[in-house]
Chain A
Amino acid sequence: MSDRSKTTDGTVRERGADASESARGTEPLLRIEDVHKSYGDEEVLRGIDLEIDRGDVEVLVGPSGSGKSTLLRCLNRLTEVDSGHIYLGETEVTAPDTDPNAVRQQIGMVFQDINLFAHLTARKNVTLGLRKVRGLSAAEARQRADSELDRVGLADQADSYPAQLSGGQKQRVGIARALAMDPEVMLFDEPTSALDPELSNEVLEVMQGLVAEGMTMVVVTHEMRFARGGASEITFLADGEIVERGPPETLFENPEHERTKQFFESIRHE
């Protein structure tokens, strides 16, 4: 764990530069067009447009109820949009004839309440998808799982059950489980909100490691340290709309909108 965090800071910047260069002139990996979603009378997403390039780290921030988690869940169709389109590369995720199970293999998700399979060991949490979805043999799946667990620094906990792990360890297994499917994009839905600050760090370090590896990520978080250090772009949402989007420095130091300014000031005071 510690050796990864050491290298993180330097490589983040480098990678950012590489990514923007290679992305120039190519299609964005994720394209969100005019997405609307209502629950009953309440419209939680009011026409979201967003493009995320391969290798980018998009951080979604905003007050609770702003629709950021809903937007994230629309990306892998855990929530269905009411109207609008979402594309992953060439595939339209939201098309009725698109198999959501196929799309979800390409989009990893990490949950706020972690949701490890409670009856399975850390290793089996990771192998289940490989076995039942990818159809790998037991030996192949095990090998893959062990290398993913090693990637999140938990090789020694492979045989532990979720109830025997700390919150931070559990969330790292959750990340390994998603990574094992070899996704093109990783979605993080407030991955540290359920954790003590102390335990958050180990999760954030793993996420920083992914940033350094060039993983495309969409992250809903209140962790401004991560947003500042890891994000390529920050999108500020309020009341189901994108208020402002820009690189971290701009949004933190020099936001255009008064609403954005208020939000960042309010969390700075926390």
Chain B
Amino acid sequence: MEGLVALTELAAALPTGQLLPVSEEQVGQYLGEDWEFVYRNSDYLLWGTVVTILLTLTSILLGFLAGFPAGAIEAYGSGYSRAFVRKFGVLLRGTPILVIMIFTYFVLPIEIVLDAAQFGLRSIEYVLGPTPFTVPTDVPDAFIAATIALGFRSAAYQSQIFRGALGSIDEGQMEAARSIGMSRLSAIRHVIVPQAMRRSVPGFQNEFTIVLKDTSIAFAIGLGELLKRSHDLFTQQTTAVLEVILFISLIYFVLTFGTNRTLDYVSNRFAIPGESS
């Protein structure tokens, strides 16, 4: 309650028509020096937020690029490909994310990974023609290691989301598509996948939130994301631990809430008319 009163007083003290920037002194005067400390360093934390968002996006993207085909192979594949994907998935899902990340950072040679990515991109360009993508050369190793760890772990879970969604589509849909002369692949692409993608949104929503929150694990390998930067701050001013943690919790909450609402919107936007989702 005291804080709330202080906030209203603070708002009242502001010159009209000019809400921002509130001066550091004003914050310090009304909320105490620890909040003043947070406020003074908020740009440092906001850049950490940018890193967190970027890491989430790259990891989710890698997770999708690896996880969707993996799910399709689990649903439709056979023999060695399916066995390999299953075993790799079990391995990834059975290993703590912190262990995976320490492995990708300290053991996996990042140069080789980048060379492989370069080779992959070249191959794609050889087939499809020039693409606007380049393999990054100036990205910190920790960011790449974190992306690989979070990305492949997410792929292991996303594959299950897609496998389940693909499997949930009624067999009659495939039969109907085949009965008009569509090939199996064409039927999967034009009939099964569009329906399965819609059904995988709720699972994907969870996965997005999990990856977003788990970017904080990259703290362990020293990547300057949100948690690492907050740690930097509260070790500098140890009395401000609560304030710093509250502040970044709020940021995490806004991010997860925002993405969930966005995905809700996407889900509704693409819902099949007449069907309850």
Q: Which A residues have a C-beta under 8 Å from some C-beta of B?
A: 76, 78, 100-102, 104-105, 107-109, 111, 113-119, 128-129, 132-133, 160-164, 174, 177-178, 181
- B40, CB-defined interface residue at 8 Å: no
Nearest CB of chain B from residue A123's CB, rounded to whole Å: 13
- B194, CB-defined interface residue at 8 Å: yes
B residues within 8 A CB of A105? 180-181
Most buried by B among A76, A107, A111, A128: A128
Q: Could you tell me if B180 and A133 are in contact, using CB atoms closer than 8 angstroms?
A: yes
Q: Could you tell me if A132 and B173 are in contact, using CB atoms closer than 8 angstroms?
A: no
Q: Could you tell me if B176 and A111 are in contact, using CB atoms closer than 8 angstroms?
A: yes
Q: Could you tell me if A115 and B181 are in contact, using CB atoms closer than 8 angstroms?
A: no
B residues within 8 A CB of A162? 274
A64 and B134 CA atoms in complex are apart in Å by 62
Residue on A nearest B270 in the bound complex, by CB:
A119
B residues within 8 A CB of A133? 180-182, 186
Query: Across chains A and B, which 7 residue pairs bring their CB atoms closest together, nearest first?
Result: A163-B274, A115-B172, A129-B180, A115-B176, A164-B274, A105-B181, A109-B179
A163 and B277 CA atoms in complex are apart in Å by 12
Nearest CB of chain A from residue B8's CB, rounded to whole Å: 51
A residues within 8 A CB of B273? 161, 163-164
A167 and B54 CA atoms in complex are apart in Å by 48
Residue on B nearest A112 in the bound complex, by CB:
B172
Q: Which B residues have a C-beta under 8 Å from some C-beta of A?
A: 170, 172-173, 175-183, 186, 190-191, 194-195, 198, 272-275
Q: Which of A76, A78, A114, A161 contacts B272 (CB 8 A)?
A: A161
A181 and B273 CA atoms in complex are apart in Å by 26
A97 and B170 CA atoms in complex are apart in Å by 29
Q: Could you tell me if A181 and B181 are in contact, using CB atoms closer than 8 angstroms?
A: yes
Nearest CB of chain B from residue A72's CB, rounded to whole Å: 11
* A101 touching B195 in the complex, CB below 8 Å, given contacts A111-B172, A116-B176, A163-B272: no
Main secondary structure of the interface of B (DSSP, over half): helix
Nearest CB of chain B from residue A236's CB, rounded to whole Å: 26
Q: Which of B170, B186, B190 contacts A115 (CB 8 A)?
A: B170
A78 and B171 CA atoms in complex are apart in Å by 12
Q: Could you tell me if A78 and B172 are in contact, using CB atoms closer than 8 angstroms?
A: no
11 A-B Cβ contacts within 8 A?
A101-B178, A101-B183, A104-B179, A104-B180, A128-B177, A128-B180, A129-B182, A133-B182, A161-B273, A177-B180, A178-B180
Nearest CB of chain A from residue B5's CB, rounded to whole Å: 54
Q: Could you tell me if B190 and A132 are in contact, using CB atoms closer than 8 angstroms?
A: yes
A101 and B182 CA atoms in complex are apart in Å by 6
Q: Could you tell me if A132 and B182 are in contact, using CB atoms closer than 8 angstroms?
A: yes
Q: Which of B176, B181, B194 contacts A119 (CB 8 A)?
A: B194
Q: Could you tell me if A119 and B179 are in contact, using CB atoms closer than 8 angstroms?
A: no
Nearest CB of chain A from residue B139's CB, rounded to whole Å: 39
Nearest CB of chain B from residue A262's CB, rounded to whole Å: 33
A residues within 8 A CB of B172? 111, 113-115
A270 and B170 CA atoms in complex are apart in Å by 32
A133 and B173 CA atoms in complex are apart in Å by 16
Q: Which of B178, B186, B198, B275 contacts A104 (CB 8 A)?
A: B178
A2 and B195 CA atoms in complex are apart in Å by 36
A113 and B198 CA atoms in complex are apart in Å by 22
Q: Could you tell me if B178 and A119 are in contact, using CB atoms closer than 8 angstroms?
A: no
A74 and B186 CA atoms in complex are apart in Å by 22
Nearest CB of chain A from residue B238's CB, rounded to whole Å: 56
A76 and B195 CA atoms in complex are apart in Å by 25
Contacts A76-B179, A128-B177 given; 11 further ones with Cβ under 8 A?
A: A78-B179, A101-B181, A104-B181, A108-B180, A115-B170, A129-B181, A129-B182, A133-B181, A162-B274, A164-B274, A174-B176
A residues within 8 A CB of B274? 160-164
A115 and B272 CA atoms in complex are apart in Å by 15
Q: Could you tell me if A78 and B180 are in contact, using CB atoms closer than 8 angstroms?
A: no
A105 and B175 CA atoms in complex are apart in Å by 13
A residues within 8 A CB of B198? 119
Q: Could you tell me if A115 and B180 are in contact, using CB atoms closer than 8 angstroms?
A: no
Q: Could you tell me if B195 and A181 are in contact, using CB atoms closer than 8 angstroms?
A: no
B residues within 8 A CB of A118? 173, 195, 272, 275
